[in-house]
Amino acid sequence: MSERRVRVRPVASTVLFVALAVTLVPLLYLFSVSLMGRDETVAGVLWSADPHWSNWGDVLSTDIPRSILNSVLAAVGGALISLAFAVPGAWAIVRHNAGGRTLGATLMSPWLLPPIVAVVPLLTLLRVIGLNNTLLGLTLVYALVNVPVAVWLLEGFVRRLPVEIEEAARIDGAGSARMLWSVVVPLLLPSLVAIGIIVAILNYNEFLLATFLTQSVDAQTFPVALSLFYGDRTPHFGKIAAASFIGVIPVFAAAVFFQRWLVGGLTAGAVR
């Protein structure tokens, strides 16, 4: 057993080193580009001899910080609403066979279509309810769009829950709503955190719907605001890199902060 562990460690260390290099090297180069001047970015240098820290100051004085905040609010709010719909949906599909065997696939089928086909209907609906060009409207769209993903991911975790726990709660007099929120949800908490992070990242990175549904600066998300940097005739790649690096920080911070719950939820689920 000890010899096998000795053999495995070099392989695991090598794989870990390669994974870290693939992850960190692009970020380090992005940070390096963020400190370059306009001429240095096209010269192919790896590090600026005279770092331009003013690129970061110029980016922070634009609408980028506000757009990042908008993205975070829309991503987190949309993920929470998606989970609120997905939990009872996945539980009904697994425990009560709601919709038969094809309901899960039916829910996922619209999500697999190109998002552009839904732009006009969504834009019309938001205008009808008065939420067009608002962050709240975009948050609701993100929530509804990703409900199928959350349901699909939750189904497997709900199936792994012991049915005996729910049967015991019914014997004690718990109704369906009480059992769902007092028994099922606490057992699914690690999985809910993991799936919530995945859905939030999908919302944070979304570009197409945000482009069409938010035209004003007050409601623009980070991908939309970043795309405006590329719209210049002579784009400053140093400032673009600085804005990109700043926009990556919330995602990495969330991944590091929720690492334990993310790994635990994806690997162990609700089984303790």
Q: Which CATH number belongs to the domain containing residue 183 in this structure?
A: 1.10.3720.10
Copy the structure tokens of residue 151: 């349901």
Q: CA distances (Å), 189 to each of 9, 10, 193, in order?
A: 33, 35, 6
Quickly state the pLDDT bin for 75 (edges 50, 70, 90): very high
Q: Is 34 helix (H, G, I), strand (E, B) or coil?
A: coil
Percent of the chain, pLDDT > 70?
Answer: 87
Q: Does residue 272 lie within any of the structural domains?
A: no
CA 1 to chain centre: 40
Q: Does residue 29 lie within any of the structural domains?
A: no
Percent of the chain, pLDDT > 90?
Answer: 21
- Render pLDDT for 211-230 as a digit per residue (tens, 0 to 9): 999 888 888 999 999 888 77
Place of tokens 């009560």: 96
Q: Does residue 31 lie within any of the structural domains?
A: no
Whether 269 has a pLDDT exceeding 60, the answer reads no
Q: Does residue 42 lie within any of the structural domains?
A: no
- Give the pLDDT score at 1: 45
Q: Residue 109 burial by CB count (10 A; 0-12/13-18/19+): exposed, middle or buried?
A: exposed
- Give the pLDDT score at 67: 93
Name 10's Cβ contacts closer than 8 Å, sequence gap at least 6: none
Q: Residue 151 burial by CB count (10 A; 0-12/13-18/19+): exposed, middle or buried?
A: buried
Q: Does residue 11 lie within any of the structural domains?
A: no
- Render pLDDT for 126-149 as a digit per residue (tens, 0 to 9): 999 988 889 999 999 999 999 988
What is the C-alpha separation between 99 and 180, in angstroms, rounded? 19
What is the C-alpha separation between 253 and 56, in angstroms, rounded? 19
Domain count, the chain: 1
Copy the structure tokens of residue 270: 């609700």
Averaged pLDDT, 83-96: 86
Tell me how many degrees the CA angle 91-144-102 measures, rounded to the nearest 5. Answer: 45
Q: Residue 119 burial by CB count (10 A; 0-12/13-18/19+): exposed, middle or buried?
A: middle
Q: Does residue 6 lie within any of the structural domains?
A: no
For the question of whether the overall pTM of this predicted structure is more than 0.85, the answer is no
Q: Which residues of 68-106 are buried (b: 16+ CB within 10 A; e: fewer)?
A: bebbbbbbbbbbebbbebbbbbbbbbbbeeeeeeeebee
What is the C-alpha separation between 114 and 7, in angstroms, rounded? 47
Give the mean pLDDT of the chain: 82
Residue 24 CB neighbours (<10 A) = 10
Averaged pLDDT, 158-166: 81
Its domain, for residue 122, covers 58-267
Averaged pLDDT, 185-201: 87
Q: Does residue 50 lie within any of the structural domains?
A: no
Q: What is the DSSP letter of 36?
A: -
